[in-house]
Amino acid sequence: MKINALIISIFLVVIFLCKGCKEYLDFKGDNTTVVANNLDHLQALLNDAVRMNQQVTPSMTENWADDYFQLPSRYELQDLARQKVYIWELSQYNHPNDWSASYQPIYNANYCLEMLQKLNRETEDKVKFDQIMGAAMFFRAYYFQQLLWTFGATYDESTAAIDKGIVLKEDTDFNIPSSISSVQMSYDKIIIDVELSLQLLPELPSLPTLPSKASAHALLARTYLSMRKYSEALYHANEALKLKDDLMDYNLQSDGVFQGRNPSFNKYNKETIFYTEMNQHQGALYLNARGGRVDTLLYNQYLPGDLRLNCFFLPADGYYAFKGSYAESRMFTGLATDELFLIRAECKARANDLSGAMIDLNHLLKNRFTNNNTFVPIQVSNLQNALDIILLERRKQLLFRGLRLMDIKRLNKEGYNISLKRKINGVEYVLDPNDPKFVIPLPSDLHNFIN
């Protein structure tokens, strides 16, 4: 069977899914029907980076967060819907959106898992069978987590059993009603799926768009961090870094940094463990093209000699725009070693291993400064000092990756009292700590399909 025909059939699946069609995976032509029903076809479905990795993670989380602001002149050019997004007043919105973008790879993963149940593992290539199963479970869990961070309540152990999470659809049957699970059930499902995938995946991927044991541990580290379960996050960050701990030296073009007057990063650089990109639905107000400018106070936190000043930022209208994505012209949201070093540093600090925390942090930072010894290793005297520095460096390194909003929400659960503020035409809009508006509302057209 020609691979082009398979890709066409997969594309039609996505079209039908978006329209709510109940008859899927049918492509008829030349008196044949193409159905993804063997291991090679299922692997091709998961290998399809356009559907599984590119522009599929939520963007509303970045619209909501505080790493950018809109110039008044650019704000006035936005339509009313985007203006409402900027002041956290999103109400009515439909397809396409964060939900539909992330549920596309979930649907594909569910389809693969259903088809695997119809195949006999004993008569198939067992290694390929297991890796497809592990990859499908990882993909589903990865996007469940992305949706949970966007549309679910922040994890709080005391209320997680009753707080609203997300729909955990594990099948492709549109006739089966969907319902919203609790936050606890949502996190439990994510963790179970990733733990199972760990048993089936290779240590490292053949392509950065495919899952591996390294990315599974990294996803668990990210998940447990958002739950504020720091010992578990520390364990999985450490396990992931045992498998892959490469860091780019921002001084070196050979490490994946385009040099010159306008340095940037290679796509699939050596820090990438698992590659995904943010979609650009609902306006993508943070983008330079939409007038998004980097928060001035944040920009001023970078020290002289910090190569991120040139690698991350571009002068624009008297301010700065962000250009430092690991996805070149798009926004990278995947799993990478720089994030893992910062997770491990934070978790070590919380375990009162201040020396170990600074070893990880300084290892990262020395690869971010010019090679003329401008970087002075950081030393700390107490836990709070260590956490303040690590959390600031986390924000400076990981901005515009879809992580900031979750960081605000988890830290506000610990009393950090981070408010979001925006001023338009002399009027200040404020999102207070733990405000219900931190949970982004579901798309309007989804309410008809959820009990």
- The whole-number average pLDDT for the span 18-31 is 33
Q: Is residue 26 part of a domain?
A: no
Instruction: Give per-residue pLDDT as tens, 163-184.
Output: 999 999 999 998 888 899 999 9
Instruction: Kindly report the three-state secondary structure assignment for every residue of 340-392.
Output: HHHHHHHHHHHCCCHHHHHHHHHHHHHCCECCCCCCCCCCCCCHHHHHHHHHH
As for how many domains the chain has, the answer is 1
- Domain containing 429 — which CATH number? 1.25.40.390
Q: Is residue 271 part of a domain?
A: yes
| Contact assessment for residue 11 and residue 4, using Cβ atoms and an 8 Å cutoff | no
What the block records as the tokens of 233 is 């996050």
The H or E element spanning position 191 is: helix 183-198
What pLDDT was estimated at residue 274?
98
Query: With bands split at pLDDT 50, 70 and 90, how would you rate the model's confidence at 34?
Result: low
DSSP 8-class letter at 414: T
Supply the pTM of this predicted model. Answer: 0.92
The amino acid present at 109, given as its one-letter code, is A
- Which residue has better confidence, 81 or 242? 242
Query: With bands split at pLDDT 50, 70 and 90, how would you rate the model's confidence at 374?
Result: confident
Please state, in angstroms and rounded to a whole number, the distance separating the CA atoms of residues 119 and 135.
17
What pLDDT was estimated at residue 23?
31
Q: Is residue 2 part of a domain?
A: no
| Contact assessment for residue 406 and residue 57, using Cβ atoms and an 8 Å cutoff | no
Please state, in angstroms and rounded to a whole number, the distance separating the CA atoms of residues 206 and 50.
17
Q: Is residue 134 part of a domain?
A: yes
Please give the radius of gyration of the chain, using alpha carbons only, rounded to the nearest integer. 22
Least confident window among 163-172, 370-379, 425-434: 370-379
Instruction: Give per-residue pLDDT as tens, 310-363.
Output: 999 999 999 999 999 999 989 999 999 999 999 999 999 999 999 999 999 999
Instruction: Give per-residue pLDDT as tens, 226-264.
Output: 999 999 999 999 999 999 999 999 988 877 776 665 678
Q: Is residue 28 part of a domain?
A: no
What pLDDT was estimated at residue 260?
62
Query: With bands split at pLDDT 50, 70 and 90, how would you rate the model's confidence at 91?
Result: confident
Q: Is residue 361 part of a domain?
A: yes
| Contact assessment for residue 113 and residue 191, using Cβ atoms and an 8 Å cutoff | no
Query: With bands split at pLDDT 50, 70 and 90, how would you rate the model's confidence at 153?
Result: very high
Q: Is residue 83 part of a domain?
A: yes
Q: Which domain holds residue 122?
A: 36-442
Q: Is residue 447 part of a domain?
A: no
- The whole-number average pLDDT for the span 6-16 is 38
Query: With bands split at pLDDT 50, 70 and 90, how would you rate the model's confidence at 19?
Result: very low
Identify which of 4-18, 210-224, 248-262, 437-451 has the greatest average pLDDT.
Answer: 210-224
